[in-house]
Amino acid sequence: MLRSSTAFRLNDMLTTNLVSLEHNINKFLLLDQQINDGHIFNVWPAILSMCYPFLAHKHLRDCLIIVVLRGWHNKMKLNAYHFVEVFAGCANLTLELLRGGYRGSAFDIVFESCHNALSRNGLRLLLDAITSLREGGLVWIATQCSSFVVLCRHQSQRCEANGFLGNTQRPFVVLGNHLMEISCDNFKEIQYVYGLIQRALSEAAPALEPLAKGPVKMNDIGGLLGGAH
C-alpha cells in the first residue's frame, strides 16, 4: 500500500499529466498510421495482451495509457530501480553500475530460461522491470546483432527491397526480426527514463521498419561492436 504522502503525489501527477499523456499517445498512433502504415497499431496489441491478459480486446490507446500509468505508480516507490539491461550477455554494464551503488537488473536467456523475451512470462518479467524504473533511470537494450551485421548480409538477404526484413525463410532472420520488434516495443514503456538500443548504424537493424519508423532514436556507436563494420 502506498504511503499517504506518496499517494497524494501520485494523484497530483496523474491529474496534471493524464490529459497530456492521452494527447501524446493519440499523436503517436496518428503518426504510426501516417508514416508506418499502422504497423505498431497492428502488432503491439497482440504483444501486450500476451503479457497482460486483462488488456485483451482493449484499444491500443487504452492499453498504452494503462501500461504507462503502471509505470508512474511504480516510479513513486522509494525502492525503484536505477537501470535495466536487456539482452545483457555478460552483463558488464550491470556489474559496473552495481559496483557504483546503483540498483537494477540484467535480463538474458543465458542466465535463466525465464528471461526469454519471446515468451509470455519472459516478456512480462522484462516489461514489469522497465516500468519499475525511477525517473531518470536507464534502459539499455543490446539486441542480438548476428542477423543484422554487414558480414552476414549475404545470408540474411536484408535489403531495402524487402524492408530489411531479410529472407524470412531462414530461422535466424526471423529470430532477429522478432527480437528487434520486442526491442522497439519496450520503448513504449519508457516515460521519464533514458532508453538506448546498442547498435551500429552500418548494420541493417537501424533501417528495419520497427526501428526506422517506430518510437526509437539511435546513435552510431562507432565500431564498438565486433563484426558490425
Assess if residue 172 is contained within a domain: yes
When divided into structural domains, the chain yields a total of 1
Instruction: Determine the straight-line distance between the first and last CA of the chain, rounded to whole angstroms.
Output: 51
Q: Which amino acid is at 201?
A: L
Domain housing 108:
4-212
Q: Distance between CA 149 and CA 111 in Å, rounded?
A: 25
Assess if residue 228 is contained within a domain: no
Assess if residue 16 is contained within a domain: yes
Assess if residue 219 is contained within a domain: no
Assess if residue 229 is contained within a domain: no
Residue 170: strand, helix, or coil: coil
Assess if residue 175 is contained within a domain: yes
Residue 187: strand, helix, or coil: helix
Assess if residue 130 is contained within a domain: yes
Assess if residue 225 is contained within a domain: no
Neighbours of 97 (CB within 10 A): 19
Q: pLDDT tens digits, the chain, 229 residues: what are they?
A: 334 444 445 455 555 677 788 888 888 888 888 887 888 888 889 888 988 999 999 999 999 888 888 877 777 766 778 999 988 888 999 999 999 999 999 999 989 889 988 888 998 898 888 888 887 888 888 877 777 777 777 788 888 788 777 888 888 888 777 778 777 765 555 555 555 665 544 454 545 555 555 544 544 444 444 443 3
